[in-house]
Amino acid sequence: MPLPSPIFDRLPWLPYVLPLAVFLGLTPLEPSAAGEETSWLPLAAEHYPLVYTAKIVAVVVALILCWPAYRQFPFAITPLGLLVGLVGGAIWIALCRADFEQQIFPAVGLGSLLENGARAAYNPLDALADNPAWMYAFLAIRFAGLALVVPVIEEFFLRGFLMRFVTATDWVKVPFGTASGAAILVGTAFPLLSHPLSEAFAVVVWFSLVTWLMLRTRSIWDCVAAHAVTNLTLGIYVVATGDWQLW
């Protein structure tokens, strides 16, 4: 059952923050594919699918609780949103393959930061090869998290709340698609903090592109759609090429 509307009236930021907070709060529990145990729980790489699945279930519960707040935004997706998602996916892959960070960060003394927040790089095609049913089930769960859950929670937090909050103190009255210069900067700075620094150039270009989309169409669902298409493109690329470092 969704949370009662009086809770949203008292805490208008809650539905935008809660799902992403659950997602980010549980992410450190995920073990890496390299086999190191997490610093929180004694979990090895083979536990990754179960931990990730539990995280997505928890986030979906949070989304259900918060969904009434999202329904206030008119559901509108334009062809431009889908196009930005496709172009953005190609740009993300190209910039990650170019690996500018490995060339530039060490040169300015920041090479040690490239390992911060590295992705799990879990390869279910190898790790779960002896259990095909679970392998395909987990691939479906992973794609659902990547292309359905993450775009909603990240866009509603970043553009539905944070950028509006930076634009004006009385942020709930800021129309979606309106942003101050500071908010536009925050729209790129926050993703830099929540993504691996090894993908910094892709983050800057992609999130700036979607900010442009937001200002152009003023539809949060366009931003969600672009994010979903990019993530789906990225997931297909990873499975097809085996470049699990982007997973």
Q: Within 10 Å of residue 70's Cβ, how many Cβ atoms?
A: 18
In the chain, what percentage of residues exceed pLDDT 90?
A: 72
Query: Looking at 51-55, 109-113, 118-122, 186-190, which range is the least confident one?
Result: 109-113
Instruction: Establish how many alpha carbons lie within 13 A of residue 143's alpha carbon, considering only the half-sphere containing its beta carbon.
Output: 16
Average pLDDT over residues 61-83: 94
Q: Which tokens belong to 214?
A: 């937001």
In eight-state DSSP terms, residue 37 is P
Overall average pLDDT of the 176-185 stretch:
96
| pTM exceeds 0.75, yes or no | yes
Pick 42 or 59 by higher pLDDT. 59
pLDDT at position 22 over 50 = yes
pLDDT for the residue numbered 114? 67
> Is the model more confident about 193 or about 163?
163
The pLDDT of residue 245 is above 90: no
Q: How far is CA 149 from CA 16, 23, 99, 168, in A?
A: 13, 10, 27, 28
- 144 token code pair: 């659902």
Mean pLDDT of the chain: 90
In angstroms, rounded to a whole number, what is the distance separating the alpha carbons of residues 237 and 245?
11
**What is the reported pLDDT for 6?**
75
Distance (Å, whole) CA 23 – CA 60: 10
